Amino acid sequence: MHIGLISAAFPPDLDGIGDYTWWLAKTLVEQGCRVTVFTRGGNCSEVPGGLVNGFYDPARPRSFGDLVQLLEDGEAPDWVVLQYNPFSWGARGFCPEVARTWSRLRSDKGEDRVRLAVMFHETMVPRWPWKFAVMRTWQSRFFQRVCTASDRIFVSSGRWLTQVTATQAKGRASILPVGSNIPVSPISREEARDRWQIPHGTMVAGIFGGAHGSRRIDWIAEAAKRYLAQAGERELLVLHVGPDEAAIGRVLEGIPFRSLGVRPPDQVAEALRAMDCLMSPFVDGISARRTSAIAPLLNGVPVATTVRGWSDAVFRTADERALLLSQAQDGEGFARDFLAWLPGVGAAGGEAAQAFALREFSWEGICRTLLMELESTNFK
């Protein structure tokens, strides 16, 4: 199968969707597919065995329309898969050319046209506050048009499925996890601690990512304080890897804290391997798009997080030692759940975490699911 992947960004850009597209392309090639990436012009990382076509100029959003002629002039893929976040394709998510071009590709050639799939990393902003409400007026229209024109629809989290259903699009919709751009480190926990000069007997609780409002750093601080109050002689270190060191450090004042800052992916993996567990309570709960929780699981690190109505059902299939799904509504409740969960984790928790993540979130598994869904789609 020849697959085209369309992304506004691509490595070496510091962009999550660009990274996702590179990993997806690489793995699809390894699984025997022909892959062409359609992305922005300029310097782009190579995809071993694949092609990268830099056709899009972010400074000229209308250049997305050049995709039509590009597909007509060359050997069109069997499927093209649009990586969609409205903000990727236009300021404030204003991307009329994407919706217009997608509709044109659907209607141009009848049965001979290229098949269209979309992967929604984001759909549109919420209805509130008022700035979001204004942006939603156009983002919702573009979302509707892209859904209607697509033969197959993928979403990064089940929370978007209701929105897709409301468009009455004919293309079937399902969840496709986003994977992780952090590799699986081959070193042991002991080796990782030696590299970062962390004493082996220390209890290392991790934080991965920045001080984004979606993550409750104050709840992490509450859990760490409760641990210190009952830990006895075992020392605690809250180890952070990612941006916003100062902001996180202020919330964790008085708690043993060390930040490694922003690191290359291989060093991030080594930092994760040094952790006994990772704390990541999300305001809206864990979901299949939370790579800051998926990357630790892949590296054998049990994760303490929160579950909400939007959380994807797949996480409930994980071993309880691998994943704490706290229903707490405040920091005290999360701390109680964390302290009750932690003693049962042990080495088996790390093994269970990695086994679960490899089953559900490996790039090989994601690509197999993608290919199976595309091959089974009735083309109308």
SS (H, E, C) the chain: CEEEEECCCCCCCCCHHHHHHHHHHHHHHHCCCEEEEEEECCCCCCCCCCEEEEEECCCCHHHHHHHHHHHHHCCCCCEEEEEECHHHHCHHHCCHHHHHHHHHHHHCCHHHCCEEEEEECCCCCCCCCHHHHHHHHHHHHHHHHHHHHCCEEEECCHHHHHHHHHCCCCCEEEECCCCCCCCCCCCCHHHHHHHCCCCCCCEEEEEECCCCCCECHHHHHHHHHHHHHHCCCCCEEEEEECCCHHHHHHHCCCCCEEECCCCCHHHHHHHHHCCCEEEECECCCCCCCCHHHHHHHHCCCCEEEECCCCCCHHHHHCCCCCEEEECCCCHHHHHHHHHHHHHHCHHHHHHHHHHHHHHHHCHHHHHHHHHHHHHCCCCC
Report whether 227 contacts 276 (CB < 8 A): no
Whether residue 132 is predicted with pLDDT greater than 90 in this model: the reply is yes
Average pLDDT over residues 242-269: 96
| 123-to-88, 179, 239, 357 alpha-carbon distances in Å | 11, 18, 33, 25
Model pLDDT for residues 175-202, shown as the tens digit of each residue: 999 999 999 999 999 999 999 999 999 9
**High-pLDDT (> 90) share of the chain, %:** 92
Domains of the chain: 2-179+363-375 (3.40.50.2000), 189-360 (3.40.50.2000)
pLDDT band at 379 (very low <50, low <70, confident <90, very high): low
Task: State how far the Cα of 68 lies from the Cα of 53, in Å rounded to an integer.
Answer: 14
Q: What is the pLDDT of residue 137?
A: 98
Q: What is the pLDDT of residue 250?
A: 97
Q: What is the pLDDT of residue 107?
A: 85
Q: What is the pLDDT of residue 109?
A: 64
Partnered with residue 36 across adjacent β-strands are: 4, 51
Whether residue 357 is predicted with pLDDT greater than 80 in this model: the reply is yes
Q: How crowded is residue 363: how many other Cβ atoms within 10 Å of its Cβ?
A: 20
What φ, ψ does residue 20 adopt, rounded to 5°? -55, -45
Whether residue 380 is predicted with pLDDT greater than 60 in this model: the reply is no
Q: What is the pLDDT of residue 231?
A: 73
Average pLDDT, the chain: 95
Model pLDDT for residues 3-29, shown as the tens digit of each residue: 999 999 999 998 999 999 999 999 999
Q: What is the pLDDT of residue 96?
A: 98
Q: What is the pLDDT of residue 234?
A: 79
Model pLDDT for residues 304-320, shown as the tens digit of each residue: 999 999 899 999 999 99
Q: What is the pLDDT of residue 112?
A: 74
Whether residue 289 is predicted with pLDDT greater than 60 in this model: the reply is yes
pLDDT band at 346 (very low <50, low <70, confident <90, very high): confident
Lowest mean pLDDT among 64-68, 112-116, 152-156, 289-293: 112-116
Task: State how far the Cα of 84 lies from the Cα of 68, in Å rounded to an integer.
Answer: 17
Average pLDDT over residues 53-80: 95
